[in-house]
Amino acid sequence: MKLSKPSQLFLVSITGLLVAILLSACQIVTIATLYLASSAGPGNSSGLIDVLAVDSETGALRPATSPVSSGGNSPVSLAVSSNFLNLYVANQASNNIVHFSIAYSGALTKADTVTLSSEGTVPVAIAVNNAGTQLYVVSARYPGGAGGAQIPGAALAVFSLSSSGAIGSPLANGSLHYWPLTLPGNPKDLMVPTGVTSIASSKAVYVTAYDQSAYNPGGTATSTANPGWVFGFSAGSSGLASAPGSPYEAGVKPTGVAADPTNRFVYVSDYASNELIGYSIESGFALNFLLNGPFKTGNEPQAVTVDQRGKFIYVANALDSSVSAYAIDLSTGTPSAAINTTGSSTNNTDAEPVSIAVDAALGRFVYTANKLGNSISGFQLNPTTGALSPTLNTPYPSSANPTAIASVPHGSHSTQTVTP
């Protein structure tokens, strides 16, 4: 049957409309960008940063750009400014901190680099304060390092940041340009730093470390001091001051540290004791143990994060290859195990998750960097219970040996930072 010309035009219009609807329905909408620092080890010529897009509906990941050089070897830590315009990378083997500017699309452009001045030291962890004015760099000294006597086993440096995010000079601490992390009563003990966080008000900084002289598996313990510690500092424009009673006991081998967005609580993962330790932030930014703690995790918890609303805690368990999920009692800060939709108390990841992050846009997805799996595992977050369920096609392949993960909202996408 031959159609009239008006009928043909009508059919073409309807067909075009249907195609447009189908394309619109299938359109992938990106809500956030993930950055993943990866390194294959000493033989790798340069560390890499994978740039990945987060799908708004499924949480699935896909490459947004080709991997970018981290600007050095063996990247170990990432930090993002609160305005999501700057990314900082700590390259351990190159002993430097590299600043990248973040484009509207999430693409990275290398901006400037700072090399740590003390010989024999390496960066371990970094954080940016919420005001975007200071970059905190935690460094360690390994035995045998050249010039290692210039710095104790661990130290915290504070670098000023310009309005554009450029890294300036380190602030002075008397004649030093760092704050030593030494143990009162045992000043010669070798402290090994592991993590750092700045609270939302930008008025305090906390660093986790363990005493290798007291906790040295496979070696000799030469100290009877408590092995795990959190060092607390009040922060100002001119530098740091120790919080009352700092440092605070933190189990055996604290590894990850995170603060809630209301400036009330700090949480630390204890790798050796398989526990999550909670603290309330008191006057002068002193820490006090939460009641009923510490709280059970999976085996060898490596990293911890709190979602943007301050309602849930997620812990990456390296040995179990799993994520532990907790709901926060908003009145006391006490974590309680979130109930998973699968009925299981754990959420499986690929091998050895060492870093964890919640997407920075809507806080709907959780991702882990899996060092041995060479991958990222994704979970969808239930905003009511905090329970997790796997995202579509998880895990996602990454560059070799990922060590750190961070997120920014994509473009002008709104963010969810609801105070509980």
CATH of the domain at 353: 2.130.10.10
- pLDDT, residue 257, reads 98
Can you list the residues of the chain whose pLDDT is less than 50? 5-6, 8-26, 41-42, 144-151, 413-414, 418-419
- Per residue in 121-141, pLDDT (tens digit) is 799 999 999 999 999 999 997
Tell how strand 365-370 and strand 375-381 pair up. Answer: antiparallel
User: Does residue 97 lie in a domain region?
Assistant: yes
User: Does residue 414 lie in a domain region?
Assistant: no
> Residue 323 forms beta bridges with which residues?
316, 347
Is the entire prediction scored with pTM above 0.85? Answer: yes
User: Does residue 173 lie in a domain region?
Assistant: yes
> Residue 81 forms beta bridges with which residues?
none
Count of beta carbons in the 10 Å neighbourhood of residue 241: 16
User: Does residue 20 lie in a domain region?
Assistant: no
- pLDDT, residue 78, reads 98
User: Does residue 15 lie in a domain region?
Assistant: no
- pLDDT, residue 413, reads 47
> Residue 293 forms beta bridges with which residues?
none
Number of domains observed in the structure of the chain:
1
User: Does residue 23 lie in a domain region?
Assistant: no
User: Does residue 303 lie in a domain region?
Assistant: yes
CA 149 to chain centre: 30
- pLDDT, residue 183, reads 95
Domain with 109 in it: 29-409
Of 280, 278, 276, the closest CA to residue 300 belongs to 276
User: Does residue 182 lie in a domain region?
Assistant: yes
- pLDDT, residue 39, reads 84
